[in-house]
Structure formats: C-alpha cells, structure tokens
C-alpha cells in the first residue's frame, strides 16, 4: 500500500525522501537490497528481513517508547499494554518467544499522537483543520490500512479529547499504537516510517491543533478561601499518601474541597509535589476532579 501523506492544501510538510522501491520499516537509515544478488532479499542496517520486528522493537525501547508484542493489534502480554516496557532484556525475551509479533508502542506521558483514518473521513478532517498552516517536522508513520500517525508533545496538562474530528483519533499514554514494520492483520499492508526526527526534537502540538485535542476548560469557580480544619485535613491526607494511593488521595481531596467550596488548589498541588507526583499528573487529576464535581452538581 502506497505511503503518502493526506492531502493538505495550504499546508507545507517537511518529509524524508520517498523510497518507492522498498519500504522504510523503522527509523534510521533506509532498507536496502542485498548487494550480492538481484533478488528481493532485503536488509536493514545489516539486519535480515526476518529480524526487522525485534530490531525495531529494541530501537523504539532505546528511544524511551514502551513496547510490547502484538498478535495483529492485540497485546500478547498478560496485562495488555500495562506490561509494555523499555527494558531491553524483557523486549528480547518477548521477541524470542514471539519472533513474528507486531510491535505495540505506548506514547510517553506528555505526548499525543493523532491517528488519521482516511476510511472514516480522516484525510478530509486533517486537511480542514490544518488549512493555511505549516506542520512542523515530526515523527510520522503510515499504517497498514493507509492511515497516518502524527506525533507531538503536549504543551501542558489538560483534559484530552478522544477524537479531533471524523476519522482523527487522539492517542496518549493511556493507549497504544501499532508501529512499523508491523503487518496490518486485515489488509496485510506494511506499517512504515514516512518521516522521522529524533524523539528529543519532537515538537509541541501546534497552536491551531490544540482546540481540537484539548477539551475546553471548565468555567471558573469562585470558592471561598480555606480557613477551617477540614481544609487542613484534606491537604494532610494528600501529604501522607503513599505510592499507589497518591493520585487517588489527590482526586478524593480535590473533589471534597470543590464540593465544600474550598479553594485548596495550590495547597493540594504543593502536597502532591511533596509525595512525588509531577505537575502533569497533578493538573490532570485536578481537572478530573473539577469535571467530576461539575457533573454531579
């Protein structure tokens, strides 16, 4: 299946040179025919064709992308995508056990992938929301069904939509994607890298796309300042939380504070930082608490 970008009139995209004779299955240098013959026998960086999948899995893991083996699109691991890892020894064991397994990758926390499916109108949606804008160079892969995955970093925490429009799904670390050089289970098409940049150079989500990825912020609430003992108790509960309970305690305390009209956002944030939560996790949990309390008001 031909790997080309969706039509984006008025949009300029930086791409790697096209390799029409052979696919480029994984990031790095291109795929080449064996110089000793004229057959279709292929190698990649000296790796034989049958070893492309494990080699690619190791490469993604080295880049910091948690990987796991797939049967088609279904994880082969006991706990699904929760088992995906960057541990090279575990990756080695998986592909020794499942040498022909496809590759699943979970985007790192703070990343977002726009999954464009032209079969469901994704090409038209992508063209429309990017009209008149220049997309920055980033990681772009082509799916085995003719779609595309565009990778970006999230500029800030927030409530993320599941879809940016018809045929454009929004993927974060809460999900996973099938990566090159996997084979699509239905079309038998090859997943390929269309464009690659080093992960440290992956850009932030462009400004014009943010309204399609983030849900609108809830209307501001004007709670009274905390001054009673209940506020102190809520903050103390977060400050005493142990690993495995930190997000749950923060969510509970934030919900109680909002329900009681207490303005504890800064105090809860400081307490959550003190027990090891990062700012993105904290903001996401506080946003979830706002959504929960507004939905039950």
Of 153, 187, 149, 186, give the one whose Cα is nearest residue 64.
Answer: 153
Q: Identify the structural domains of the chain with CATH numbers, from first to last.
A: 31-213 (3.30.2250), 224-295 (no CATH)
| pTM reported for the whole predicted model | 0.65
Confidence band, pLDDT 50/70/90 cuts, at residue 87 = very high
160-185 confidence digits (pLDDT tens):
999 999 999 999 999 999 999 999 99
The residue with greater pLDDT, 297 or 264, is: 264
Q: What pLDDT, on a 0 to 100 scale, did the predictor assign at position 54?
A: 94
Question: Of the spans 23-27, 135-139, 257-261, 280-284, which averages the highest pLDDT?
Answer: 135-139
Lowest pLDDT segment from 18-27, 43-52, 246-255? 18-27
Q: What is the mean pLDDT of residues 115-142?
A: 96
**Token pair recorded at residue 190:** 């090859």
Average pLDDT along the chain: 81
Confidence band, pLDDT 50/70/90 cuts, at residue 76 = very high
Per the CB < 8 A criterion, the answer to whether 75 and 117 are in contact is no
Compute the distance between CA of residue 273 and CA of residue 78 in angstroms, rounded to an integer.
32
Compute the distance between CA of residue 50 and CA of residue 250 in angstroms, rounded to an integer.
48
Q: What pLDDT, on a 0 to 100 scale, did the predictor assign at position 39?
A: 36
H helices present in 98-167, as ranges: 122-129
Lowest pLDDT segment from 51-60, 199-208, 254-263? 254-263
The residue with greater pLDDT, 271 or 49, is: 271
Q: What pLDDT, on a 0 to 100 scale, did the predictor assign at position 2?
A: 53
Confidence band, pLDDT 50/70/90 cuts, at residue 157 = confident
pLDDT at residue 84 above 80?
yes
The residue with greater pLDDT, 244 or 119, is: 119
pLDDT at residue 30 above 60?
no
Torsion of CA 203, 207, 211, 217, to 10 degrees: 90
Q: What is the mean pLDDT of residues 221-238?
A: 64
């Amino acid at each position: 299946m031909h790997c080309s970008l969706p039509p984006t009139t008025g949009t300029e995209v930086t791409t790697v040179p096209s390799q029409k004779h052979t696919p480029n299955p994984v990031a790095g240098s291109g795929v080449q025919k064996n110089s000793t013959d004229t057959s279709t026998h292929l190698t990649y960086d000296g790796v034989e064709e049958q070893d492309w999948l494990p080699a690619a899995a190791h490469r993604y893991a080295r880049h910091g992308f948690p990987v796991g083996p797939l049967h088609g699109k279904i994880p082969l691991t006991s706990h699904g995508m929760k088992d995906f890892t960057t541990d090279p020894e575990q990756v080695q064991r998986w592909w020794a056990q499942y040498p022909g397994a496809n590759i699943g990758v979970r985007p790192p926390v703070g990343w977002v992938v726009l999954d464009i499916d032209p079969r469901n109108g994704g090409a038209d949606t992508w063209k429309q929301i990017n009209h008149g804008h220049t997309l920055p160079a980033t990681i772009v892969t082509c799916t085995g069904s003719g779609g595309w995955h565009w990778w970006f970093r999230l500029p800030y925490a927030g409530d993320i939509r599941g879809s940016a429009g018809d045929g454009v799904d929004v993927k974060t670390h809460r999900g996973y994607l099938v990566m090159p050089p996997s084979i699509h289970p239905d079309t038998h098409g090859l997943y390929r890298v269309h464009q690659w940049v080093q992960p440290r150079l992956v850009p932030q989500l462009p400004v014009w796309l943010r309204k399609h990825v983030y849900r609108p912020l809830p209307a501001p609430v004007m709670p009274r300042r905390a001054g009673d003992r209940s506020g102190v108790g809520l903050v103390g509960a977060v400050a005493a939380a142990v690993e495995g309970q930190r997000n749950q305690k923060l969510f509970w305390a934030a919900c109680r504070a909002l329900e009681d009209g207490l303005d504890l956002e800064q105090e809860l944030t400081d307490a959550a930082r003190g027990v090891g939560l990062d700012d993105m996790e904290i903001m996401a949990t506080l946003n979830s608490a706002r959504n929960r309390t507004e939905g039950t008001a």
